[in-house]
Each structure stands twice: as C-alpha cells, then as structure tokens.
Structure 1
C-alpha cells in the first residue's frame, strides 16, 4: 500500500464517511456532481497507472458504487476506449443518482450486458464497482460469482472506493472479496483498507478527498490514525553533546528460560541498537555464554529462578518480559517478579499467555502488551478467528480491560491506547518468521527507557520495527528476512539526521 506523507492521515468508519457525504450534499454540492468528481478522479488515476490500456470491463452493482462505475465507463468511452458494462443489477432497477449515471453511460454509447457466470471477464482492465462500503453481511449469489471470476482472471483490477466484499470498518473478507491491483477511495479514508485481510485485497491505495475536508467536521472524530515514520523526528531529538549512558535509560530484558535463549538475545540486541544507555539481560545460566559472544555490550545475568534476580529489576527504568519466557515455573516466577517491582513493562509472548492464564483481571496503565491474534484471543477468551473478524474491536476491548497500550500485531498492526486507535502502514510478508515479536519488544523497551511516553513509544516502536523490515527487504528480499536483520536498519531510522561528515547530527 502507499504510505501517507506528512501528518498522520485520519481514518474513518463507513458510517462516518456516509455522514460526510450527506453533509457535503446538504451544503450545496449536488449528489450526482459528487459522483462525477469521484469517477473523474478514478479515471485520472486509471490513465496514470495504465496509460496504454485500450479496453475496460466495468462491473457495476447498485447504489453509488455502481453509479461511479457507470460514470467512469462513460468517461472512458469518451476518450476512445472500448468499454462494456457488466451489470450485477439491471439498469431498470436503479434509482436516483445511480440511474442518472447509468443513463449517462448509455447515452455515451457504452454497451451493457448482464453478468453471466459462463463468460469470464476478458477485457484488458477490470473495474470493480460492484459493492461499496455499506456491505456488512456475507457476499452471496451473483456478486460472489462475479468476485470469484474477477479473482480468477489474469487481469489487473481497479477497485472504486473499496474492493467489493471487504468490510470497510474491519478489513475482514465477507465471504469473498476482490483482489484489487489498485484501489481509489473517496472523501474519507477507511479504516478497513489498512488492516487484516486488506493487505491482500487493496493493492496500491490512492485517496482522493474530492474537495471534502473531513477533519473540519470536529464532531466526527477519526476512528483511527495512520501512523507515519516522520513522527520520529519529534520524539527522538538530538542528544546533548555531554550526554552519558546514565541519561539514556536502563532496560532489563527478562526471558530465555532453559532451552529458549534466542528470543531474549534478539530482544536485548534490538534494545541496544535503538540507543538504550544500559541493557541488562536476565536469562537462564546456560545462555550466558551465547549472549557474551553475540553481544558483549549487554550485561547478562544467569538466573536459575526469580530468587536470583535480587535487586536487579529495581535498578532498571523499564522491564521487557516474555521473550523465551516459557510457561513453566521459571517463567512464572520471573513474570511475578517483574509485576511486583513497579516499573513500566513491555509484555510479550509467554508473558502474555501467563497473564491470560494466571492474571485474568490484572490491569495497569504503565505497560505495553504486544499480542498476535492467537495471544489476543487467549487474553479475551475468544478464538483467533473472532479476533481477526474485527481487529479494531478486539484491540480496543483489550485496552479497555487491560489498560496501558496494546499492540495487535499482524498485517496493518493496530495500536490502542488512551489516545485512541492507530494503524501501522509499513511491514511486509518477510516478517512472517520467528523472532520478529522479540525484536519489537526490545525496541519498545528502548524507547521507554529513553523517556518516550508509553503510548507514543508503542506507536513509534511499531513503525520503526515495520519500516526497518521494509528497508531490510528492499536490500535483500522478503524471503529469508530474519528478525536479527532488523536491529541495524532500525538504528538508521532512529538517527534520521545523520550525515556522513556530521556526527553531531546523530539522534
């Protein structure tokens, strides 16, 4: 997906966008004129993206989404393209602006034919104008057949406003959804275009406001914000030239139960690369040598159980607990010690599983929890499928129950905190490998140790982690991307002003 430039982009739910549409029309913009604006914007994007295309198949449903398709078909015909409309709803059954749009295309000489399941789309480019943002139930009948046929074709697809079959609020697939090559969305960007299954359905995303200033409607606050890497500059200013390690925080990573040492080492190294002044690692004694060999800068302590921690947790500014923790007695004792010490926490992996099993009602305002959908399901007492069916609702409910900041990992990671919901626009499929969550937890610990406020640290940590993975993939590809690759790229991201001959610009 394309990422926004500048300030974080507001994201809205479908009902909010419909209200923005209604208010725009009530303020004096004719509804059909607004439809024409949308279609013209989509046509412009189409010509920029596919300048050589000569034939279009426009699949038109009912309502405004179908109307957008009819108008676009008329515009394309006027430019000399061979265009046909494939009707999922007969023109005689249309009304209002959608009927005006269909009549406009008919007057322009655009052919129209009903959808036939025995005739596969064969045009150079397909335009999806079948189902808009009002869809909430599962796609059925002819629409489902048409979506499946579009996906089975080898043709590029332009989706108008949203890929048909994708839930505009949750990013879930409602039975079947178009796999678009490019989506042009209008008036207000939709939350469901940026998380969950949307990653496989939206393709490249282009937003056109059509002259509507959504943020001017102060009684319609955005449902979420799309995060931007540019926010780093405000949260990690240049260090004082006389700074020393004591000024840059002390993080303690607690993890690596016997036989599970790698995760804690990954977390500690990521914590170090993001600028923490002092990093301690409390792990099972058999992992000490590996830590010294891999990263001697980390102060490693071999602990046989919680009793061996002594005063170590109390000396740290933040505790990262969970990587390689295990759920046996070693992990249980270490987690209990971390909870007792009264320091800000980052809790990941088996730390989360132990919270779900042993501390079901525990709520804190000073922690960041980082579940993937399976861990979130255990914390909520539901299935992972239920979490994925409505990721925004799941992460919001977790934040309500557990407090602090919650990161629901996955495609379009979500961050919920007291300030609302945020969505990460970065990341790639190469991150589907072991240890990625451990690297994230270490990065979060580093930001908290350096004084970044809790919710801001959660948002920045997700962005740094995902963007570092994108940089690593750009250099070497997605397949074979390892969690240990991220730390060095993350280091460059947290030093954005670094010049080759300007060490004073480091951040």
Structure 2
C-alpha cells in the first residue's frame, strides 16, 4: 500500500536538478542529507523499534544517506554497523562528511569482504541510489544477493539498488525491499515495470523542499487516483434518463473456442453502465452468451458483410477479444475499421494490425488501444525486453504512431493520450490479475465508459483505475491467488456507484 503520496512523478534528472536548486537557495547539501537520514531513521523506528541495523553503504550520496542513518542509530544507542561497498577514500563531498559523522558517533564499519553473515535485525540499502542504470557490478551484485537471501526486513533509501528509478527496469540482481523511503519527490520508475515489486511499501519525504522549487520542474508523469476521477466523471444520472442516453457498445470477436472473451467484455460494459450491449461473434457462441447474460443482444456473423447492420446501430466498438487471426477475423476487423466509430482495439485486433495484413485507411483520435507488453512489442517491431527496458518511452511511441489514447498494461499500467501531457501511472492492482480474461474486463470497462459519452482521454484513466480497484477488492475478499476475471464484475457495479 502507498498512502498519502504526491501525485506528480519526476525523472531522476529532474530530481537531481531540484536537489541543486535547493542547495542554491541556501540550504547546504549536508543539511538535506541529514534530513533524508532522519526521515528514513524515524520510519525504520516506527516499523521495527529496537531492531539492530546493518547499513550497506556505497560511495555516492545514497551511501551518505546511509551513514547518516547509522550515526542516528548509534546516537540513539541502537545496535548498528555499516558494511562498506567502497573504501572510505572514495567518498567525496557531503558523502564524506556523512561518513565522518558516523565514524565520530562510534559506528562500527567493516568492508563488504568481511561481512560474514546477516542473521538478525533490519538491513538498510544505501548502495546505488538514483544514479544507477544498466548492469549491477561486483561487489554490489554479491551484496544484493546476500541481502535478498537473508530473509530480514529490508529498507531501501531513495530507490532499491539495481532498479532504474527513471524507467522501472531492473537487471538482476536488484534489492527486494520491504520499505522504500524516497526523498524530495517521487521518481516515475518506482511505479511501473519492476518498481512496484522491488520497492515494497513506498513512502516519500519531501525534505521540506518548498512548493515553489518543486514547481520549477514540469512533471512528465503522474499517479492516477480513482476517487478524483470518479467524482469528476461519474456524475449522477437524471431521473428521466433512458437506455439510449448511455450508448450502445458493439463487441466484435470470439472466434472458435474463444466465446468467453466477448462474454466478459460484454458483461463488464454492462456493469459500468452502458445502456445497450451487442455482441457479434461466431454463431455457435450465441446460445451460451444469451444463457449466461440475457440482457445482451447477440448475433452470429459468418462474414464481415453481416456486420454492417450492427455497426449502423453502435455508439462504440470493442474489437479484438478472442477475435483470432483467421480470414473471418480479418473481415470483421476491416469492416470495423471502415466504420470510423469510436473504437477500443485489443488482443488479436492489435496482432493483425502488427502483422501488416490489414492497413487502416486512417488513424483516429477516437481510438483506444490496450496492448500488453507482447502486443506492444509487435506493434513497435521490437522485443518485450525493449518494452520493459523503458515503458514510458514505449507508451509514448505507441501514442505517436497511432495518434490515439494508449494504455500499456502490466504492473504499473501506463496511460498516454497526448504527447504534451504527463503519462498517467496506475499504482493500483495486484498479482492476482495475472490470469486469463483480465484484459477483456478492462476492454469492456473502457467501452462502457466511452458509450456513456466520456472522451477517450477521460474514459481510459478512469477505466484503468476502476479495473485495478475492482481487482484489489476481489483480493481483499479472498486473497490474490485464484482471482478470476469475472470476480471483478460485482465489484465494478459498486465502484461506479460511489
């Protein structure tokens, strides 16, 4: 859980500039470092009072923060030791001053080569910090493996060592923290990719940096929050409203053996309030879909031509779930693209487009595409590893190519709908969502919201947050393991009626 965090997210370069701006304003760097160490130490005391500390320190300012924590522990008569990854001779500036402070406080210090065991207390990671990217070198890699294998609680200062705070990428090994205390401002990479898994609980201390200084850097990303979105976008309905006021979603997909995908999309669209929902699918799925949800209108279609009368009645299309890649699939997608309606493109619709077998006649700002990393990689002609190496760059590249709203799904889903605006980052959700059908539920939510006259730039962030919160509530009901996509449906109805 991340509570009471700021909304704005920054790059590591921006936070470095903010740090320098604070120093230029008259606050010495060592004073900022002492504020960081104090904030971290107080948080450690609140979680693990009286526990001995082992502080792993590197040679940069992150190591300096660690030396401050160690000094404060010694002054408080708490058992503490520092494990040095670099010799003190490599310390410079404020980090060296912090080292001297810890030495004068009587903190025992040993080189990493003499660190024989980690068997008790709390480990503090102050090794690599925000300047890290790329491969973890020795002896840091060995130290990280030792920390992760210790089974002890781990607190990371500013960022877990081995995680790129700019992108959320991490090449193993990387510290697996229980708690990360980050400083001045939130770094965007803490919330996506490997960030959420490595940070554990995240808290932020602004070190009393003024709002005026923080405002000098425009934030390139922001955390998406459900409650403000709901309050703004899910307004009360008029008492004389009728189903025609809330749109008609047409879902196109469900090739042989994949009727469940369109079923889940359809029910999610209904549960978030779409007025009417139709499904165009293989004829053999019609009976099952109507049996499960009689509120649907389901039509069996054997060719793209049979789709035309259904398209004429639709407000918004959801194309791709269970669509397959057969000639039937391509015919349906081709007709959908020609309709020039607001459209959510997911799953096999994206795969067909990525294969170049079907070129859209135009790109439309009223599209929404919802790829997972594999689909995103195919659309961009790169690897999944390339996507995960910089998810922010990937989602912006997709938006630039398709000129529409994009969500890049995954841990810390990213939403981008305008190159000039911050990327939205969803910090909700849980590992229980790693099961079949979750993407279909999201597509249905988006389609249902667009049907209710929400523009893509508003519908997509709200949908992503509703999806994540529904999954979190399902996990709270019975645990993460074993959550089914359809478990989110009941939660959705409650969430859209706050």
Which category describes the TM-score, using the shorter chain as reference length?
over 0.9
Task: Quote how far apart the aligned CAs of 1:359 are.
Answer: 4.4
Distance, in Å, in 2 between the alignment partners of 1:34 and 1:58 is: 19
Match of 2:453 among 451, 454, 460: 451
Task: Quote how far apart the aligned CAs of 1:92 are.
Answer: 2.2
Q: Does residue 388 of structure 1 match 2:388? A: yes
Task: Quote how far apart the aligned CAs of 1:456 are.
Answer: 1.4
Match of 1:477 among 476, 479, 488: 479
Map residues 433-448 of structure 1 onto 2, 5 A cutoff: 433-448=435-450
**CA deviation vs aligned residue, 1:70-129 (integer Å, no higher than 9, x gap):** 001011111111110000111222111001100000111101110027613234100000
Task: Quote how far apart the aligned CAs of 1:316 are.
Answer: 1.2
Task: Quote how far apart the aligned CAs of 1:476 are.
Answer: 1.4
Partner of 2:219: 222
**CA deviation vs aligned residue, 1:5-39 (integer Å, no higher than 9, x gap):** 6xx70000100000000001101111100001111
Q: Is the 8 A contact 2:193 2:391 kept in 1?
A: yes
Q: Does residue 156 of structure 1 match 2:188? A: no
Task: Quote how far apart the aligned CAs of 1:390 are.
Answer: 1.0
The alignment partner of 1:225 has SS state of: strand
Q: Does residue 68 of structure 1 match 2:68? A: no
Q: 1:177 to 1:14 in 2, by over 3 A?
A: same
Map residues 85-484 of structure 1 onto 2, 5 A cutoff: 85-116=82-113, 119-213=116-210, 217-230=214-227, 231-357=229-355, 358-359=357-358, 363-418=363-418, 419-484=421-486
Distance, in Å, in 2 between the alignment partners of 1:323 and 1:311 is: 21
Q: Is the 8 A contact 1:57 1:126 kept in 2?
A: yes
| Structure 1, unaligned runs of 5 or more | 497-507
The alignment partner of 1:196 has SS state of: coil
Task: Quote how far apart the aligned CAs of 1:46 are.
Answer: 0.7
| Structure 2, unaligned runs of 5 or more | none
Distance, in Å, in 2 between the alignment partners of 1:416 and 1:359 is: 24
RMSD of Structure 2 on Structure 1 (CA): 1.4
**CA deviation vs aligned residue, 1:177-201 (integer Å, no higher than 9, x gap):** 1000100000010111000111221
Distance, in Å, in 2 between the alignment partners of 1:117 and 1:442 is: 57
The alignment partner of 1:201 has SS state of: helix
Q: Is the 8 A contact 2:243 2:276 kept in 1?
A: yes
Partner of 2:35: 37
The alignment partner of 2:53 has SS state of: strand
Distance, in Å, in 2 between the alignment partners of 1:196 and 1:299 is: 39
Provide runs of 4+ in structure 1 moved above 2 Å.
120-123, 213-219, 358-364
Distance, in Å, in 1 between the alignment partners of 2:414 and 2:300 is: 35
Distance, in Å, in 1 between the alignment partners of 2:101 and 2:22 is: 23
Q: Is the 8 A contact 2:8 2:221 kept in 1?
A: yes
| TM-score with structure 1 setting the length | 0.95
**CA deviation vs aligned residue, 1:188-228 (integer Å, no higher than 9, x gap):** 10111000111221000001111124675445211201111
Deviates more, 1:430-439 or 1:120-129: 120-129
Q: Does residue 487 of structure 1 match 2:485? A: no
- How many residues are paired up? 493
Q: Is the 8 A contact 2:18 2:213 kept in 1?
A: no
Q: 1:248 to 1:148 in 2, by over 3 A?
A: same
Q: 1:359 to 1:168 in 2, by over 3 A?
A: farther
Distance, in Å, in 1 between the alignment partners of 2:352 and 2:58 is: 49
